Structure 1
Amino acid sequence: MSSSAALPSPSLTGPPIAALSLNCMLFAVLTIQIYSYEVKFPRDRIALKIFVWLVYIMDLTQIVLLHMFCWDVWVTGLAIQGNAPTPQPDTGAHTMMTAIISAMIQGFFAWRVYVLKRDSLIVRITAATIVLLAFTQCISCVCGVSSYYVAGKKASSVALEIELAVFTQIWMIGAVVCDLLIAVSMTWILISYNRASKVKRTRTLVKSLILRSVETGTVTFAFTMVNLILFWIMPQNYIYMVFDRTLSKLYSNALFLSLNARECGADVSTTNWVSDSTPDTTGSVSLDRSRIRFRSDTDEVIHIARHTVTDTENQFDDCQLSNKETLSSV
């Protein structure tokens, strides 16, 4: 009986299993995505390539740190001393890297929001707010983790725990608000493009992009929100780590999913979008005068021109796609 009573709580030893499994699966997907990215876009700008590879290497480092944490939980017991959470240096390093990765990717999406509708004052303010929130949540996380380790054994005092918890709350709340802003702004911009377009196929494309933006934004927002709630109500166990340790992989996969979707002009969220559709005098659409031109993050301009047409039923012929080099870049 005494030996069973001394066993650590399942709420301490169980969640790391789920966290490690989810991380490994998402990292496998991430590896496939970066391979696909290199195959599809070998001529992307060097700055973007450095950015995506830096994100990938940081995620790989996190996988190593998470295995070290699980070793401390299941083998050495250092992470659950006294049947209570006892974070080790690898835990803090993983947490800081999560904040840094999320801030990098949030900043990237802020740039995309700005590029899509830079002539709008509201969009410029929104993009600046996203960057500010990303920077704030990142700094709060780094300061909180650093303060915890500087405090050492004193970190177990109630007063200091409350003080350090403020940093964590700022980090998580900032991340939640930032994710929400990105999802809402991207959806709003795409909806405005959808309303402005007169071409049926374009509207169908933009609707699919709206759905994709909502899906990815909802997943990251939901995981961050659940992580925040669990950390608030149950800081005495590791249940929140199922979500906390998975966040960076979700952000990274959302980044690569968006980048890879640029193939054949499938993703307008990395583009400058110009539509000059003109209806003819009979009420049908003259597709030789309806063109969509957009510029991707690569140094390519893609022109989509739909030819033939005008009849009263607005039927379309095939669309011709051509890629041309350009000297300008976003």
Structure 2
Amino acid sequence: MSDPQELAKALLKVSGPLLIGHLLNWGLFGVLSVQVYIYHLAFPNDHIRNKALSYSVYVLEIVQTMMLTQSAFHAFAEGFGNVEYMMEVGNLWFSVPILSGMIFFITQMFYAYRVHRLSGSSILAGVVIFFALVSFAGAIATGALSRHVGDLTGLLSKNTFITLGIWNGGNAVCDAIIAICMTVSISRRSTGLPQSQALVNKIIRLTVETGSLTAAVAILNLILILLPDHAGYFLAPIGILGKLYSTSMMSVFNSRIVFSDGGIKTLTSASAVDLPRTNWRAEQRGSANRPVRVAVKVTQEQLSFPSNEQTSFWEDKTPVRRADSFQLPTR
């Protein structure tokens, strides 16, 4: 691109959004680091599967942040005032589409597992996996095309816009399905206990907020890609999608922390991310004929009952039957 005017116009379309994307990426990396640190402190004995998932995603985020930092230093510091440095693709073809696509796929598989456990439907989980694979394929195709373009203006080509549309469109559809399925599945689990229902409402709110946020950013990115002037505005939000997915996943893990009057509790005996598939209506019908076990200890001075300790409905708090226990039949 030898014409200075055309080069200046193309530079304005990509340099500003690229700088904003770098700044947002660094800020969200700090948020993610705090989430991972809280998880490390709160759940030292968590399941090895959850630890491997959390730390592997965080390692990928570290690698992506380091590569993006090198790209920003090369463009805005080492090549300050040099337009050719600014327009180089460098490692952006790998750090943004490939690494972000891997992070998307891992987190979406995590949510597909949750959808399967909550709803008990393999079809819904299969739909989530299908759109996750479509999105991952679009990310790989975007990275492959970006690898062979001459400069950043090559990202504004028609073929690249098609692969970007597949990538972000698949993410938007996948996030919408995940948010709807999980919200409906969790809302059906009515416990009838105020404390337990409050935790259910908290999980529903967290699911809607995180799912809506990632879906909204993916849709915004898709809109910016389809703008008629083919500007590079999509370079700003496209670099932060990975951090949003990772942070939303870590917020789900950390949602098992319960704040009570006596301090902070962590639900380690039953994970909020690994729920058993149960038929709650059948349990409620069967509980009508089930004997209630009550542990009572009577002395001359006091009468003590089981404590009203604040717990989660994910935990099994059935009193242990002892020798001085008796059963009260229900009517």
Question: What is the TM-score of this pair, normalised by structure 1?
Answer: 0.73
From 112, 115, 123, the counterpart of 1:113: 115
Q: Which position in structure 2 is the counterpart of 1:93?
A: 95
Larger displacement relative to structure 2 (86-95 or 181-190): 86-95
- Percent same amino acid among aligned pairs? 23
From 192, 208, 214, the counterpart of 1:214: 208
Distance, in Å, in 2 between the alignment partners of 1:98 and 1:242 is 14
Q: How has the CA–CA distance of structure 1 residues 79 and 177 changed in structure 2, closer, same or farther, with 3 Å as cutoff?
A: farther
Equivalences for 1:195-234 in 2 at 5 Å?
197-233=191-227
Q: Deviations over 1:204-234 (max 9, x none)?
A: 2212211111100110000111011111216
Instruction: Tell me which amino acid in the other structure corresponds to 2:216.
Output: A
Equivalences for 1:120-139 in 2 at 5 Å?
123-139=121-137
Taking only aligned residues, the RMSD between alpha carbons, in angstroms, comes to 3.8
The Cα shift of 1:147 comes to: 3.4
Equivalences for 1:192-271 in 2 at 5 Å?
192-194=188-190, 197-233=191-227, 236-263=230-257, 264-265=266-267, 268-271=272-275
Structure 1: any 5+ residue segments left out of the alignment? 290-306, 309-316, 325-330
Distance, in Å, in 1 between the alignment partners of 2:285 and 2:310 is 18
Distance, in Å, in 1 between the alignment partners of 2:154 and 2:198 is 58
Q: Which position in structure 2 is the counterpart of 1:140?
A: 138
The Cα shift of 1:170 comes to: 1.2
Q: Which position in structure 2 is the counterpart of 1:68?
A: 70
SS at match of 1:26: helix
Distance, in Å, in 1 between the alignment partners of 2:293 and 2:241 is 46
How many matched pairs?
284
CA contact (8 A) 1:37 1:260 kept: yes
Q: Deviations over 1:228-272 (max 9, x none)?
A: 111121674432122111100000001111011123449744322
Q: How has the CA–CA distance of structure 1 residues 257 and 212 changed in structure 2, closer, same or farther, with 3 Å as cutoff?
A: same
Question: What is the TM-score of this pair, normalised by structure 2?
Answer: 0.73
Q: Which position in structure 2 is the counterpart of 1:20?
A: 22
Structure 2: any 5+ residue segments left out of the alignment? 258-265, 295-304, 317-331
From 95, 103, 106, the counterpart of 2:105: 103
Distance, in Å, in 2 between the alignment partners of 1:211 and 1:154 is 43
Distance, in Å, in 1 between the alignment partners of 2:185 and 2:67 is 38
Distance, in Å, in 1 between the alignment partners of 2:272 and 2:26 is 30
Instruction: Tell me which amino acid in the other structure corresponds to 1:143.
Output: A
Distance, in Å, in 2 between the alignment partners of 1:145 and 1:320 is 50
The Cα shift of 1:153 comes to: 4.5
Distance, in Å, in 2 between the alignment partners of 1:220 and 1:235 is 25
CA contact (8 A) 2:187 2:204 kept: yes
Q: How has the CA–CA distance of structure 1 residues 234 and 33 changed in structure 2, closer, same or farther, with 3 Å as cutoff?
A: farther
CA contact (8 A) 2:25 2:240 kept: yes
CA contact (8 A) 1:141 1:168 kept: yes
